[in-house]
Structure 1
């Protein structure tokens, strides 16, 4: 039976790409710029040439392919980690990260940028514009960090020691 983390990664990848297809081809968000959905949420098109939150802008072909290669390398490391992982929470977390990474890699290869469109804000405070892949990656990293922080590292014969 295939690792459930890989199945989750494929589901995340498909949902991410469907959402981006919808934004680009159905509602044509780049042409209209934005759609107000709720008083704190709007669909806003951003072609993100950088990494998370637009940092490290890859503003040349060389930088774009270096960033894509680095991301692919990280995705490969996550895929290999997932292959040997036994903990259910870590499998879910790594599946989320892997699926999100591949969703953004596909964008960089196809368009030269990542399609971002989910924009939350509060009054005059605007949060970053992101996509479903970014959300999956963030959730996966939070799960991994939470497991690392709350896992007992002090063991005695494989059992947690009483404090």
Structure 2
């Protein structure tokens, strides 16, 4: 089985025509997430301020998410944190391998945003044991989940991926010409 896995991995391209583009998007998304978290935690001091109302439907508030989206799969132990981080790393690695096979910018942008957001949340989970969330949307007494910039990148990447599946774009070939998917 080990040999089959090695053979399968050796057949996978590690760099495709849009890998650098996608990884650049991932890096920019990660840095924007880190910068926002640094500013809100260390400069603005959101933890000490409590709830900061920005608009009638939008607040800033410090929340540490020990689970995944919507607080599912709470990881209150070191083992739980390690398992969630490992799962996220494996998914991110798979997305990176997929990125190497992508031939059009919209999908490379989509995967880059998802990778960058995932790495931002992985960083938090490894360094802090939980993901730092700040943005709270609410209306008429109903509060949606609290999220961060990384979550926005992931959601936007998924939306672009869904859009691409319904409205596929032409592939970009090595010669720079377009060809239909």
TM-score normalised to the size of structure 2?
A: 0.81
Q: Distance in 2 between matches of 1:159 and 1:110?
A: 44
Q: Distance in 2 between matches of 1:62 and 1:146?
A: 37
Q: Distance in 1 between matches of 2:59 and 2:79?
A: 33
- Other-structure match for 2:91: 74
1:91 to 90, 105, 108: 108
- Other-structure match for 1:128: 145
TM-score normalised to the size of structure 1?
A: 0.89
Q: Distance in 1 between matches of 2:37 and 2:70?
A: 18
1:44 to 46, 61, 64: 61
**Unaligned regions of 5+ residues in structure 1, if any?**
153-157
- Other-structure match for 1:155: none
- Other-structure match for 1:117: 134
Q: Distance in 1 between matches of 2:134 and 2:98?
A: 30
Q: Which runs of 4+ in 1 moved over 2 A?
A: 149-152
Q: Deviations over 1:54-106 (max 9, x none)?
A: 11111111010000000000001111111221111100000000000000000
Q: Distance in 2 between matches of 1:26 and 1:151?
A: 43
Q: Distance in 2 between matches of 1:14 and 1:159?
A: 34
Q: Distance in 2 between matches of 1:159 and 1:66?
A: 41
Query: Does the residue aligned with 2:85 lie in a helix, a strand or coil?
Result: helix
1:102 to 113, 119, 143: 119
Are residue 139 (structure 1) and residue 153 (structure 2) matched? no
8 A Cα contact 1:12 1:100, kept in partner: yes
- Other-structure match for 1:26: 43
Q: Distance in 1 between matches of 2:80 and 2:166?
A: 35
8 A Cα contact 1:43 1:117, kept in partner: yes
8 A Cα contact 1:3 1:83, kept in partner: no
Q: Distance in 2 between matches of 1:149 and 1:57?
A: 34
1:16 to 33, 48, 56: 33
